[in-house]
Amino acid sequence: MSRIFCQASTRRMSNEESSNAAVPSAPDPSVPITESYTYHSPTPTAAGPYILGVDEAGRGPVLGPLVYGVAYCPVAYKEKLDNLGFADSKTLNADTRSSLLETLSSDPSNLGWSVRVISPQAISSGMIRKPPTNLNQQSQEATVLLIREVLDRGIELTEVYVDALGTTTTYENYLSGLFPGIAFTVATKADAKFKIVGAASVAAKVTRDACIEGWYFEENPENGKLEWSTQFGSGYPSGKCLYPNTQAWLKGNLEPTFGFPRLVRFSWTTVKLLLEKNAHKVKWTDEGQASLVKAFETGKGLDKDRCLVSKDLQLSSLSTL
C-alpha cells in the first residue's frame, strides 16, 4: 500500500522538530518511513501546455530510500525557469539545494513538483521476490506513476525530459507508447542539459537528504534510548568499497539475530556479505531435502501441469494430503 499526501494536507509539527519540517515532502522526524509514498505540491493554475522533467536521488546507496522527482511549468515560463539557477543537484551544496527547493515552491501558480519516495524495504522486497522487480523496473514504475498523477491533476503535458535509465531510445519509445501525444526526450546527464530536469533533481535530492537526516528508528525501545548510531555517512559506494563512515556504521550496527534496522537495503550485496559473515546462522527445515527444494524452485514435482489458479490459491490435491 502506498501513501499520497499533498502540501495542503494538515500535519502537526512541534517547535522541537528538526529542520526536516522545512521540507514538506519528508515525513516528520517522529514518523517512521514504513512504506513508499508520493508527495505533490499545490497544482499550478497557469495556462498550459507544460513541460516536465524527471530525475532521481539515491539509486546507488545501501541506506535509505530511492526518491524520484518531477518538476513542471508552462512552456511559456521556460525562459524564466532557465534563469532561476537549477542544475544537477550533485554539483550544488546542501544550502543551495535547499534554497532552490524554496524557489521551486515560491511561484505555485507556475511551478509544480512531486516526489515518489521508495522505501528501503520496498526496494529490497522487490529485488528478492521471485520473479524479482529489479531497480530499473522499480524506477520505471515510479516515473510512470508520477507522470500519470500529474496528468490526473489536470496538467496538460506536451514535453517531458527524463534522465536516462538504460538504453535511451528503448526507454523513450516505451514512455512515448504509454503517453501518446507527449514528446519525450530521454538523455544521459539530462539534469545538466535541461533546467526542468535540474529542478526535479533538486526536489529528489533535498527530499532524500531530509529523510536520511531525520530518520526515525522504529526499532528503538519505547523508553526512547537510542540504540542505533546516526553517524552513517552518505551510504553511497566509493569505488569498490563504501565510504568509511558507512562501512563502520554497518559493521557496528549489525544485530546478529535480527540484522539491520529498516534504514538498510538488505538486498544489497554489501549487506548480504556482512550478514553471512557476522550474523547467526539459520538452518531451514528443508535443508538436505533436495527433491522438495527442487519442486519449489521449478515448475516440476507436485506443481507440474497445475493451472495458474490452483497455484495462486495454493490448492492441493486430496491425494497429496
- Binding residue per annotation — 303? no
Site of grid cell 516536465: 52
| Residues in the chain, total | 321
* CA atoms within a 13 Å half-sphere pointing along the CA-CB vector of 132: 9
Residue 184: all three cell numbers together: 519525450
55 among annotated binding-site residues = yes
Q: In 3D, which of 234, 68, 76 has the Cα closest to residue 146?
A: 68
56 is in an annotated binding site: yes
For 259-289, give one letter per residue: b (16+ CB within 10 A) or e: bbbbbbbbbbebbeebeeeeeeeeeeeeeee
Pairing state of beta strands 237-238 and 183-187? Answer: unpaired
Q: Which residues are annotated as a binding site?
A: 55-56, 163
Q: Which residues are annotated as a binding site for a divalent metal cation?
A: 55-56, 163
